[in-house]
Amino acid sequence: MEKSSIKLAKPRLSFWNIFNMSFGFLGIQFGFALQGGFMSRIFQTLGASEGEIPMLWVAAPLTGLLVQPIIGYLSDRTWHPTWGRRKPFFLIGAILSTLTLFFLPHSPVLWVAAGCLWVLDASINISMEPFRALVADKLPESQRSYGFVMQTLIIGVGTWIASNLPWLVNKLGVSNVADPGIVPLSIKIAFAIGGAVFLLSILYTIFTTSEYPPEDLAELKKSNHESRGLLNGVKEIFQSISNMPKTMALLGIIQFFSWFAFLLCGVWLRLH
């Protein structure tokens, strides 16, 4: 979805350069793994039935569907001499995600938890979408596969650790049970740790990674001025979607129908 305006030949980067620019994905995956692994338990604790849980989850794919192209469009048009192009969105998403991860397991009622899920998913997507573009921005064609492999490795590590956080916290002596209607302390601590890891890993990438400036800053400003406005923005987003690589489009279709099937199963359970 994102596109880079960098036209100059890019130098090959070292292992540590690529690791640094990918490390923020550790926090992003902490957020996704905690959300995916433990939100249903939080919903049930706050009184949701099994049939209601898929309906509460429907906000997640819809949020990503809306947020990702918008953030891609905005970050393509952004440049700050200190913060760069993608890093402002890394930071904004990380701050919002961290605050939500800290608060979410303390939700007093079900509708608050559902609203927090929506905010959390949107915030994670704000950070995640520009990370994909950073690979194209920073790496020459010959290293891009290596960059995506590094991101995938960090994603795997983050998923495994975050998915086991409540268990690890419980092994350290924190209770995994609580009174009815109360989220266990192990879940609360795991989400707090996840929030801290999210922010710190994003900050690590921000402070260890520089971005290349636009080849022609005046041309970028001129283009932004000429294409400003809501209608032009929507038009450009749909043009980007229509030019999406076939593999990415197929993955998007598969993900959409996976969530759609999940929703239908929930509706069936609720009716039966």
Tokens of 228: 């400003």
Q: What is the separation of C-alpha 37 from the centre of its chain, rounded to a whole number of angstroms? A: 15
Residue 15 pLDDT: 93
Distances (CA, A) of 76 to 45, 136, 221: 41, 12, 12
Which residues lie below 8 Å from residue 111, measured CB to CB, with a gap of 6+?
A: none
pLDDT (tens, 9 = 90+) of the chain, 272 residues, equals 444 444 557 889 999 999 999 999 999 999 989 998 899 899 999 998 877 887 788 777 677 778 888 888 788 888 888 888 899 999 999 999 999 999 999 999 999 999 999 999 999 999 988 887 888 889 898 898 888 889 889 988 999 999 999 999 999 999 888 888 899 999 999 999 999 999 999 999 999 999 888 775 566 556 655 556 555 555 565 565 565 555 445 545 555 555 455 455 544 544 45
d(CA 38, CA 244): 33
Phi then psi dihedrals of residue 80, to 5 deg: -125, 135
Q: What is the pTM of this model?
A: 0.79
Please, are residues 126 and 93 in contact by the beta-carbon 8 Å criterion? yes
Residue 53 pLDDT: 81
Please, are residues 213 and 79 in contact by the beta-carbon 8 Å criterion? yes
Residue 188: CB atoms within 10 A of its CB come to 20
